[in-house]
Structure 1
Amino acid sequence: MDRNQRKPWKKNLYENSDYEDNYTDPSFLQELKTNQNLRTYTFYEAFLGASRLSQQIANVTTFLIVFYYLYTEGVSPQNILGKASVGTIIGYFIYTGRNLRLSSIIEDSKTAIAVLVFGYIFSPLLHTLTDSVSTDTIFSTTFLMLALHLIFFDYGVSAAIVSKAISLNAAIFGSICLASRLSSSFHAFVLLEVAAVYFALGPILAARIFSFPLLLATIAVCFYLLLKISLTIFWTYSCVLVFVNLFCPFLFVRLQRHKNNINGPWDEAIVNDFCGT
């Protein structure tokens, strides 16, 4: 059919039988929009976002330091358990604040006692669970599990990769692996209780009271303890913080100029659900 005799093209699939399937009208690209609703971030905003990751890395590092002192018998498990208990009680009162009630204290105390009792009962089993596995394999598995914990952790950003269940289970599994390398079942019990505080209860409190001074205090504690353990680990931890808090935000802000999202008539239709229609 002659092109001059064809009906004018319309943006309607059923009225364009005279045109090829891959035909594109010149008006098709008039609705092209670039970087629609784009938000650009400053270096300071990116730095604050990265500090959430730094806070969780510091928490994981502190937990590994606790394991080191239990593993080397540098601190008694009774001492660590006592300090963890005091810290948990203080954190509980900070979290509840003015909403504190006697009934809630009683119910939460029952839950805490049940966790402690069952943890103490099953600690001998968990302590001997991986006796046949080599220590190198245990440490490698722990590293992988804690890395998964950091990857899937909820940093307050809505993303598909966030999974609180995977993050928590990976951290607890890594803690069980480490507990099997300790000298006694009581050491294993203390480490698992500390893991529950750090990975189950700690994030709930940190999400409410997170602040930059708190992050600096946690990092300072890690620096001090790592210096006493190993200079190599200290510098490794320092390089990780520089990479996370300085290099990554700088790279993120620098690459924003290359962002080029396009929107147009080829996008999927979005149905708006209006009440009463």
Structure 2
Amino acid sequence: MRDSANAGSRSKGTAGHQPNEAVAGSKPAGGLYLVATPIGNLDDITLRALKVLKAADLIACEDTRVTGKLLSLLGIGGAALSPYHEHNAERARPALVARLREGAVVALVSDAGTPLVSDPGYRLVRACLEEGLPVTSLPGPSAALTALQLSGLPCDRFLFAGFLPTKDGARRQALAEVAAVPASLLFYESPRRLGDSLAAMAEVLGPRQAAVARELTKLYEEVRRGGLAELAAHYAAEGPPKGEVVVVVGPPPAAAPTGEAELDAALVQALAGASLRDAAAAVAAATGLPKRQVYARAVALVGERGQ
């Protein structure tokens, strides 16, 4: 970011300071501001976001109706809005870059949450960086990170995989591509496809722990935790839930345990979300150990724990 900031200091309209420099009583410096907006609770808007949205010469947004309603609720009137989404990005981007060349303050927002996460904003950022135009981020709400925090699953490593394909074959292929990633997996999903996606995850990823988070930061926020097969069965029976959905899936069992302690740890994790037979099969597949050996140890563990 230092190189782009230095280049930006030579751009027209920066008024001698950079986007991240706080100058009392002044309008923000010209440049592109990536502004995170609330994913539900309006109180999550930051003071810095309010300042930039009020001062922006132009606000680029996914849906002008959604952003217009948000600005009204925040008490911001008269803002110039310009649609920028996956269907018009190629046409709209040159005009936005032209305004930035003139030194305008341009804010980029998504309908909710952090821009560039599962939207075409990165192409606009890349275009700005290629021309030496200032770009900065105003961090704030993110549905993916909020779900990860509330999942109870490992957060030290994670992969955000966006939306899965809608067709079953392509969805399973996409899951197979990330199955071996040693990290928690984050997916956005449509409520009506949730049951089918969870079933596919249970088959492709194996017996892992997972969490389904919806309506995050809103009045009816819910995080349902359990094994993938258990969650798939729940939503198959209950039907699609309401609200925006994030699915978090725990990492795969540790690969190739070299001793009984490691094998036991892998089996305990697998048994938490699957039947004894399925858990043993999954651990045997992940470790390369004989199925009979793994199954026998799983039976012994269940007996020791009184399950």
TM-score by length of 1: 0.21
Higher strand share: 2
User: Radius of gyration: which is bigger?
Assistant: 1
Higher relative contact order (CA 8 A, sep 6+): 1
Higher helix share: 1
TM-score by length of 2: 0.19
